Amino acid sequence: MNDNPSETFSPSETKPSATIAGSNAVGREGEQQCLDHLKQVIESEEDGVRLKLGELWHYRELLYFLTLRDIKVRYKQTLLGVTWVLIQPLLTMLIFTLVFTRFMRMNTGEMPYPLFALSGLVLWLFFANAVINSAGSLVFNAHLITKVYFPRVYIPAASIGTGLVDLAVSLLLFVAVAIYYRIAWQWSILLLPLFLLMIALLTLALGLLFSSLTVKYRDLRHSLPFVIQIWMFASPVVYPTTIVPENWGWLLFINPIAPILEGFRAALTGRAIEWPHVGIAGAIVVVLLIVSLYVFRRAEEQFAEVV
């Protein structure tokens, strides 16, 4: 038996304390890494606007949940639910059909007027409703903007996503009416997604632009529906472009909705598509989307203070 007190313990007896110290160090390191991961640095845009595409990809699932939330809120406690998406274009089509076939004779070529009107109304109602809803989306979601950080662009984008769901339902009605009139399907219908994409991007561009402006100028929410209504009658939604006088034809070149609608109808019936007009419309959509993203990102840092 060793009587020396300094030799009564072995290195193995120090292992628990060393392990605890080591685990505490590892725990503190892991906690710090977790905090660093959760930190979000909100940088000023004075040195330039950054799109932060990586950030948008990181939060991509948030767009799905925001869209799903908007869909549930829209149809919660409604009597007819999603049927309203079909009623609006159907009743509007019937009214314009009555006016332009009974009281006024409208020549729409090989396409029956009800189908002609519905093809324009389905796209237009998506465009108009999505733009108006996205314009006020930031103001309506002020409680989210002021409490937690996430890419604000997903709020108006969720309104566009909700509109796309409505558009998909409306297209079912459009297909049913096309089958009723026995439209001969052509290979050109494969181009229909192109025009749907163009109008979706145009809607997104205007949604981003108007939503960022509405945060500062609240009266835009009241004037925008009136502007959209005027825009409808300036576009060939319920009438063909052939009735537009030649001296007013320049309006069709600066109005991107017109080539999109005409291209959609031409792809449906197999008529020749005016590709120069479609190209101009596509260029306008791309430029408008870039400008809208710039304006939105420029104003984003002030949303929490102004909203």
Per DSSP, the residues of 155-213 read: HHHHHHHHHHHHHHHHHHHHHHHHHHTT----GGGGGHHHHHHHHHHHHHHHHHHHHHH
Would 18 be classed as within a structural domain? Answer: no
CA atoms within 13 A on the CB side of 39: 8
> How many CB atoms are closer than 10 A to CB 157?
22
Q: Give Cβ neighbours of residue 178 (< 8 Å, ≥ 6 apart).
A: 115, 268
Would 173 be classed as within a structural domain? Answer: yes
Report residue 221's pLDDT band, with 50, 70 and 90 as the boundaries. confident
Lowest mean pLDDT among 16-30, 111-125, 139-153, 171-185: 16-30
Give yes or no for residue 50 having a pLDDT over 90.
no
Would 214 be classed as within a structural domain? Answer: yes
**For the chain, what is the mean pLDDT?**
83
Would 201 be classed as within a structural domain? Answer: yes
**Residue 3 φ/ψ, nearest 5 degrees:** -90, -5
Give yes or no for residue 206 having a pLDDT over 90.
yes
Would 226 be classed as within a structural domain? Answer: yes
Would 280 be classed as within a structural domain? Answer: yes
In this prediction, residues 3-26 reach a mean pLDDT of 44
Give yes or no for residue 19 having a pLDDT over 90.
no
Would 29 be classed as within a structural domain? Answer: no
More confident position, 245 or 195? 195
Contacts 24+ apart (CB under 8 A), 169-173: 169/82, 169/85, 169/86, 170/85, 170/86, 170/89, 170/122, 170/125, 170/126, 171/122, 172/86, 173/86, 173/89, 173/90, 173/118, 173/122
pLDDT at 117: 95
Q: Give Cβ neighbours of residue 204 (< 8 Å, ≥ 6 apart).
A: 156, 157, 160, 289, 292
Q: How far is CA 52 from CA 75, 204, 258, 295, in A?
A: 33, 18, 33, 14
In this prediction, residues 285-299 reach a mean pLDDT of 94
- Our count of domains for the chain comes to 1
Report residue 79's pLDDT band, with 50, 70 and 90 as the boundaries. low
Q: How far is CA 49 from CA 45, 181, 299, 303, in A?
A: 5, 51, 10, 15
Give yes or no for residue 228 having a pLDDT over 60.
yes
Would 21 be classed as within a structural domain? Answer: no
pLDDT at 280: 94
Q: How far is CA 190 from CA 124, 194, 249, 261, 269, in A?
A: 20, 8, 28, 15, 12
State CA 16 to chain mean position distance.
58
Domain range for 299 is: 62-306
State CA 80 to chain mean position distance.
24
Query: Which burial class, exposed, middle or buried, applies to 165 when counting CB atoms under 10 A from its CB (0-12, 13-18, 19+)?
Result: middle
More confident position, 183 or 192? 192
